[in-house]
């Protein structure tokens, strides 16, 4: 029988895969999700990317140089942008874009993406309407996002400018990021989620956690909001690349299951009449995710995602160590975690005993 058809089919699939991100950027289809995957649902949506791009520029125009982020780092993240990603706008486009940024400066730049209820709700709404090419419902009723008339006008006016000048680059970066981390999520996602849930003495969420991959996120490069539990991760932030992408995913996802640790620390502090330590639970989540991920990436060091990221899994350095988080106020916590929490991770101490020993040593 002829064998030419089987040999041509993989070539066709490869061509479709290679050119799909570039073609989609010019079409009305705004959403990209890689699936099916366990644990997470990964998206590159147009409106939520536009929202973060406007917020990012508004913050740049209003924030003093050298302002510190949540971890205390004074220099901003390195963004892996290319020269063609820097927009060159016509006078008309510049006027529209500047008006949109000015609206964000006036209404959102002073608010935090992580703590502002208004911004959290807006982010979630824009994510929910990622398959729409409008937000007003003017042409399709189900595309009425329920935003204020002014905000709808601002976003719909800025959309063609963003789509022409920044969205293609952001969407390609988002898709590259997703394609590189997806194999690790498929291979390791279930085991990692079960391991982390067991450590925190709870269950991983039954529904997949939605992850919106965006050109820009907040100063930390990623953040998580609750009710519903959703993660936003910057595909351009240098801290989120290579093997680190898997740790960032599960660190952010762990915010949805780490409440028992925070409650245990607070309870133990009350029993011992001690002040509740600021950020101990956050340091613990960073430490736990890093230590759980480290051997997994060592075993998966030959995977495509790890190899393309240029990070050898066997020598993987957890995020908090690599970014110097412990050196910026958490060094005492790091020593406590090594001494008392690590034995719990190793199975030689109980959860309650680990928490009690840490709090008693504060």
Map out the domains of the chain as residue ranges: 45-174, 181-360
Classify the phi-psi angles of 350: left when phi > 0, otherwise alpha if psi is within -120 to 50, otherwise beta.
Answer: beta
Please, which pLDDT band fits residue 63 given cuts at 50, 70 and 90? confident
Q: Which residues of 105-142 are buried (b: 16+ CB within 10 A; e: fewer)?
A: bebbbebebbeeeebbebbbbbbbbbebbbbbeeeeee
Query: What local confidence, expressed as pLDDT, does residue 18 receive?
Result: 35
* Beta carbons of 186 and 39 less than 8 angstroms apart: no
Say which residue, 202 or 26, is predicted with more confidence. 202
Rounded CA-CA distance 304/6 in Å is 25
Question: For 193-205, what is the mean pLDDT?
Answer: 96
In terms of pTM, does the model score above 0.75? yes
Is residue 25 predicted with pLDDT exceeding 80? Answer: no
Contact 263, 108 (CB under 8 A): no
What tokens were used for 223? 């953040």
Band of pLDDT at residue 70, cut at 50, 70 and 90? very low
Q: Are 261 and 200 in contact (CB under 8 A)?
A: yes
């Amino acid at each position: 029988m002829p064998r030419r058809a089987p040999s041509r089919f993989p070539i066709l699939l490869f061509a479709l895969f290679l050119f799909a991100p570039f073609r989609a950027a010019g079409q009305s289809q705004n959403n990209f999700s890689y699936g099916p995957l366990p644990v997470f649902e990964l998206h590159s949506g147009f409106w939520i990317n536009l929202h973060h791009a406007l917020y990012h520029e508004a913050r740049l125009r209003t924030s003093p140089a050298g302002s510190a982020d949540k971890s205390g780092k004074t220099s901003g993240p390195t963004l892996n942008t290319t020269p063609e990603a820097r927009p060159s706008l016509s006078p008309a486009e510049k006027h529209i874009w500047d008006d949109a940024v000015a609206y964000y400066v006036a209404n959102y730049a002073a608010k935090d993406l992580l703590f502002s209820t208004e911004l959290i709700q807006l982010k979630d709404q824009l994510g929910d309407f990622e398959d729409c090419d409008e937000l007003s419902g003017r042409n399709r009723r189900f595309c009425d996002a329920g935003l204020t008339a002014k905000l709808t006008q601002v976003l719909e006016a800025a959309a063609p400018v963003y789509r022409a000048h920044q969205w293609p680059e952001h969407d390609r970066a988002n898709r590259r990021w997703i394609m590189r981390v997806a194999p690790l999520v498929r291979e390791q996602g279930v085991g990692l989620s079960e391991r982390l849930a067991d450590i925190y003495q709870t269950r991983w969420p039954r529904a997949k956690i939605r992850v919106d991959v965006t050109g820009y996120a907040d100063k930390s490069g990623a953040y998580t909001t609750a009710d519903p539990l959703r993660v936003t991760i910057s595909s351009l932030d240098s801290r989120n690349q290579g093997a680190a992408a898997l740790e960032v995913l599960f660190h952010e996802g762990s915010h949805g299951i780490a409440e028992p640790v925070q409650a245990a620390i607070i309870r133990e502090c009350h029993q011992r009449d001690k002040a509740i330590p600021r950020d101990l639970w956050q340091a613990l989540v960073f430490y736990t995710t890093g230590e759980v991920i480290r051997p997994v990436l060592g075993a998966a060091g030959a995977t495509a995602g790890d190899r393309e990221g240029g990070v050898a899994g066997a020598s993987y350095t957890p995020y908090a160590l690599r970014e110097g988080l412990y050196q910026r106020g958490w060094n005492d916590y790091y020593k406590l975690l090594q001494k008392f929490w690590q034995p719990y991770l190793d199975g030689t101490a109980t959860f309650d005993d680990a928490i009690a020993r840490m709090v008693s040593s504060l």
